[in-house]
Structure 1
Amino acid sequence: MPRSVPIAPAALLLAVLLTGCGLAGCDGGVKGTPGGSGLRDPYFPKAGNGGYDVTHYDLTLAYDPNDGDQRGGRLTGTATVTARATHALSAFDLDLRGLDVTDVSVEGRAARWNRAGQELTVRPRGDLEKGETFRTTVRYHGTPQTITDPDGSKEGWLPTADGALALGEPIGSMTWFPGNHHPSDKATYDIAVTVPKGLRAVSNGELTDERTTGHRTTFTWHTAEPMASYVATIAVGHYTVSRSTTSDGLPVYVAVDPAQTAASRKVLARLPEIMDWARYTFGPYPFSSTGAIVDRPDDAEYALETQNRPVFPGAPDTATLVHELAHQWYGDSVTPKTWRDMWLNEGFATYAEWLWDEDHDGDTADRTFTSLYAHGEDDYEDLWAFPPARPSAPGRISDTPVYLRGAMVLHKIRRAVGDDTFYDIVQGWAATHRHGNADTADFTAYVEKRAPDKDFTGIWKDWLYGDGKPDHA
């Protein structure tokens, strides 16, 4: 056997260049690269992260509203994020705003990490292969932040008179747990929250355990269906809880601040009725429970379609309850791919209000549409400010055109195809993209496929993407 000869450094470099092999050798593996810090969303480019897809969040949290240096209390958390690598990774990012990180591990091994703004960059000890499922555990603590959005509204962790309320649209969930905080990455959840005895912690999905030890109580919630992080919630405080079922046995869990119990009683009694109507109108309900959280009017500035259990600041009216429950189909189950597609959430939910009125001796949807077209700008001065599919700025994704002009687009489709085909489209859209993501192009293609004999060019051009008030209703 010939005697082996050490390779000189220059020869080694030449071998690397000629063979394309790294210094680790040619074993067929691919060296990992860092995942992207942000998904380049057209309105929130730093939201979310590239290189992996989250499948499950396991959050173990403890919150005491009276502990901490400032109003907002103290949150201690351990988040285990299970994900699948979509390409070989040498590092990846998680979104986490504020809070202090204690340590990070990947697959049980301590990992290097650093913070920069909302980015928590994690460097595992070894590269992650494409397709590999891996678990990242982050331990953290601190006072969660309240975020002021571009439109001036508050989200994130909202301190209340007796606890806190976590609302996450569009980016607030990163204030209380690390993750891939973009609507395009949905996952299942287990959330356990420990609070001082006497308080309750309400979240999404089903309550699987409630256990008191000493002066603290732990509430454990499980969400089995995929959920975008912006519709995850935690509400901590004193609540009056009622449990019931709908006519077909769907569990209903309602938590109401005691100060709102009397004002909410009548409208919340209609929840099963609304659910029956919504299932008939939109198709099978996509989740395993329903309900509501009603806090005090000063606790938040808006209602939000948090999955399974919408949140309301004070007793809602019937229209608002219909709107947020309709979002369970359109927004929570069928979730936008980017924040540009918000009209697919709000247009559908607003049109649900019109349909409810039509089916309950109110104005027909056609009369509502006609009135808006004729003089809607008298009540909504920004009605024609921009097209629903192209909000003019991040701070305008929840403005009037997204809601009302979005609903008007749906009514134009209904006029074009007739009621039978229209309801086939409404139900089929929800069924086709159940628990998934979709954008405006997906929707227009779906409509055209379901009504191939119709020309929708004018509707898309003038109503969906067109600037200003269309020339004809």
Structure 2
Amino acid sequence: MKKWILAGLLLATLNTLGTAQTEEWVCKDQEAITAMERGAAERQLNFRSSALTDDYDIKYHRLEWNINPNNYYISGTVTTYFMPKEANFVALHFDLANTLQVNSVIFHGQEVETYSQSNNTLTINLPNSLSMAELDSVSVTYEGAPPSNGFGSFAQATHSGNPVLWTLSEPYGARDWWPCKQDLSDKIDSIDVLVRTPVAYKVASNGLLQEIIEDGNEHIYHWKHRYPIPAYLIAIAVTNYAEYSDFVPVENGAPIEVLNYVFPENLADAQQATTATVEIMQLFNELFGLYPFAEEKYGHAQFGWGGGMEHQTMSFMGGFSHLLQAHELAHQWFGNKVTCGSWQDIWLNEGFATYLEGLTYQYDLGPNTWNNWLSGKINHVTSAPDGSVFVYDTSSVSRIFSSRLSYSKGAMLLHMLRWKLGDEAFFQGVRNYVDAPELVFGYAKSEDLKGYLEAESGQDLTEFFDDWLYGQGYPSYQMRWFQEGSTLYVRLDQQTSHASVDFFEMPVPVRFLISGGIDTTIVFDHTFDGQQFAIEVPGNVGIVYFDPEQRIVSRNNSVTQGQFTNTEGALLEAVQVFPNPVQDKLNLSLPAGTTLEQARLYHANGQLLAQWAGTVRQLEVGQWPNGAYTVELQTNYGVVRRLVMKQ
């Protein structure tokens, strides 16, 4: 979800809402959310899920509502098919706001007399017990004015004098307007949504529109969705929409419809803007697999709020900027196909969606540039010295949806993983994660993503996740270097901005411009503070650029030239790599007492090409094209790097 909150404007009347938006954004106005949290303890923002709803699985909802966008009110009947998870099941519980009045409960065609409401819970005492895994159903008829909670879980406004009503249930708002099971563990297998409204209005919702039933001065819009869905992603929006469709071509498949419901006064601008979604979906299809709900549709429904919400198959949009379209579409893979299994892991939704915004810029879509986007995110993350991506306090909606931590730092965590693992392992690992049979159309935690990336890359990511996900802050680097003859000596020191992490282990790229027109990037495997490196170079080092492609979240870095104490330099300098230039086989020679732990070969651009175990003394390099390479030797005394020419 990408959200802009204008202070005090959650339910305010909107006179007009155009499609143009700046590409710079803030998820939410933190002061407005803080005030909202203080305002009413009854909102129970610390709600996770009720233990009372853990004893059954929901299979299906038939959601029948009466909505007039002129009125802040809902009435209708919700029929739920459920399956008990234990024997002798006698009481069914739903999350439902106390302010909504239940008029009747029907079970097996008979009205149930013994039901009660308290603590925002509807308790239905069944007339007879059910067996474990016995499919059954119950219908709840209710009405009322929903409480004003969260980000406006049930909200009403106007546009150009016309009423608009919408819902937005993330994270804890579904219970404000319908009897549900509000958790992050049990997805609903399928739903039908039927909304009765005056003929002047159209209804947007999840899935495919099956029919519009005419009934006097009213229409009933029937939407059907046949993919698993969590309660917070079910939504409706009602106003006098104008309607049109874009189509995304699919190689060897049917085009995917992008159905757009927009305010009539914005129709012309929207028709131009939403063509961006076509290109963006093509990119995401290529990188992460076909759009997960291709058998139904994707869509946009404009609503009276300054951001967006990724409702499954139909994102609600305050406007149609490139950035907002990319973010909400990305959620259909990351957040909807695979949903965070805890609000502590919200970055699995928001970090991915934010990073995919940036990828559109890297692939030359949209008005921004990749470098500018990276700079903006790094500056945002490092604007304060603390904060973890992992959400330790889920009682605060403002913390869950922290733009700096859950969005920007979550996105840059992925960017650093991509750098650490390499593009091939990163993208394949992410594809494996989002396609995993136990996760697809289900829920995931951070450790699930970690496991799939480790399996694909062969790297242990425990320390990385401890530092960058669970830990706080970021590093600042001080690089000092000097050259003696053909040997370049480098020392890397690091300070961290927060005491929770004493050191960030990272591969650190540095670009060197060397006499003779040599331009090479050397990656330093920085494993401890004050680490020293010795590198053979074929000329005089001129200019040094630290992390030139913005691979690492860091701040206040410095590069200085000058001597430093080099207690291990003699041993490191005695390491020999020959012949140089080389054609096929590169020999290694280490002085007595020096143990080789691992050898690596890097391209001049910093890309890791190959690695060998510490027992090797001859490296096969004949398969690589002619040019400059860096050989890195990890020893018990430190890291040695030699620049080698292949010819």
TM-score tier, shorter chain, comes to 0.7 to 0.9
Structure 1 residue 370: Cα displacement: 6.0
- Determine which of 116, 119, 122 is the counterpart of 1:117: 119
One-letter amino acid matched to 1:331: G
- Find the aligned partners of 1:386 and 1:109 in 2 and give their Cα distance: 54
Q: 1:104 aligns to what SS in structure 2?
A: strand
1:216 counterpart residue number: 218
One-letter amino acid matched to 1:390: V
2:428 counterpart residue number: 424
1 or 2 for the larger relative contact order (CA 8 Å, sep ≥6)? 1
Q: Is 1:44–2:52 an aligned residue pair? A: no
One-letter amino acid matched to 2:93: D
- Find the aligned partners of 2:426 and 2:374 in 1 and give their Cα distance: 16
- Find the aligned partners of 1:191 and 1:243 in 2 and give their Cα distance: 21
- Determine which of 241, 262, 268 is the counterpart of 1:262: 268
Matches within 5 A, 1:9-88: 43-47=46-50, 49-66=53-70, 72=72, 74-88=73-87
1:294 counterpart residue number: 302
- Which has more strand, going by share of residues? 2
2:618 counterpart residue number: none
- Find the aligned partners of 1:300 and 1:101 in 2 and give their Cα distance: 30
1:104 counterpart residue number: 105
Count residues with an aligned counterpart: 413
What is the TM-score of this pair, normalised by structure 1? Answer: 0.83
- 8 Å Cα contact 1:82-1:134 kept in structure 2: yes
2:139 counterpart residue number: 137
Matches within 5 A, 1:268-307: 268-287=274-293, 288-295=296-303, 299-307=304-312
Question: Whose Rg is larger?
Answer: 2
Post-superposition CA distance 1:302-335 (Å, at most 9, x none) = 310011011111x221011101000000001101
- 8 Å Cα contact 1:42-1:340 kept in structure 2: no
Matches within 5 A, 1:261-410: 261-287=267-293, 288-295=296-303, 299-313=304-318, 315-360=319-364, 363-364=369-370, 368-369=373-374, 372-373=377-378, 375-376=379-380, 381-382=383-384, 384-393=385-394, 394-395=396-397, 396-399=399-402, 400-410=404-414
Q: 1:114 aligns to what SS in structure 2?
A: strand
Structure 1 residue 448: Cα displacement: 1.4
Q: 1:441–1:237: structure 2 CA closer, same or farther, 3 Å change rule?
A: same
Structure 1 residue 263: Cα displacement: 3.4
Q: 1:403 aligns to what SS in structure 2?
A: helix
2:441 counterpart residue number: 435
2:174 counterpart residue number: 173
Once the two structures are overlaid, the 10-residue window that deviates more, 169-178 or 386-395, is 386-395
Once the two structures are overlaid, the 10-residue window that deviates more, 320-329 or 260-269, is 260-269
What is the TM-score of this pair, normalised by structure 2? Answer: 0.61
- Find the aligned partners of 2:299 and 2:315 in 1 and give their Cα distance: 7
Q: Give the gaps of 5 or more residues in structure 2.
A: 1-43, 476-495, 497-503, 505-551, 553-647
- 8 Å Cα contact 1:109-1:125 kept in structure 2: no
- 8 Å Cα contact 2:191-2:225 kept in structure 1: yes
Q: 2:61 aligns to what SS in structure 1?
A: strand
Structure 1 residue 354: Cα displacement: 1.2
Q: Is 1:462–2:470 an aligned residue pair? A: no
- 8 Å Cα contact 1:114-1:122 kept in structure 2: yes
Q: 2:77 aligns to what SS in structure 1?
A: strand
One-letter amino acid matched to 1:344: L
- 8 Å Cα contact 1:105-1:124 kept in structure 2: no
Structure 1 residue 96: Cα displacement: 1.1
Post-superposition CA distance 1:78-124 (Å, at most 9, x none) = 11011111112221210111321011123334332100031001110
One-letter amino acid matched to 2:474: K
One-letter amino acid matched to 2:154: W
Q: Is 1:450–2:442 an aligned residue pair? A: no
Q: 1:126–1:272: structure 2 CA closer, same or farther, 3 Å change rule?
A: same
Structure 1 residue 429: Cα displacement: 1.3
Q: 1:225 aligns to what SS in structure 2?
A: coil
Query: What is the root-mean-square deviation in Å for CA atoms of aligned residues?
Result: 2.1
- 8 Å Cα contact 2:199-2:218 kept in structure 1: yes
- 8 Å Cα contact 2:49-2:183 kept in structure 1: no
- Find the aligned partners of 2:45 and 2:235 in 1 and give their Cα distance: 25
One-letter amino acid matched to 2:129: D
- 8 Å Cα contact 2:401-2:407 kept in structure 1: yes
Structure 1 residue 253: Cα displacement: 1.1
Structure 1 residue 391: Cα displacement: 4.3
One-letter amino acid matched to 2:92: F
What percentage of residue pairs aligned between the two structures are identical?
28
1:241 counterpart residue number: 243
Post-superposition CA distance 1:424-459 (Å, at most 9, x none) = 01222111122111111212122212222x232332
One-letter amino acid matched to 1:397: I
Post-superposition CA distance 1:140-186 (Å, at most 9, x none) = 11223321x3xxxx221101221310111012222222110123221
Q: 1:53–1:257: structure 2 CA closer, same or farther, 3 Å change rule?
A: same
Q: 1:244–1:263: structure 2 CA closer, same or farther, 3 Å change rule?
A: closer
One-letter amino acid matched to 1:340: Q
- 8 Å Cα contact 2:96-2:178 kept in structure 1: yes
One-letter amino acid matched to 1:44: F
One-letter amino acid matched to 1:77: G
Q: 1:131–1:401: structure 2 CA closer, same or farther, 3 Å change rule?
A: same
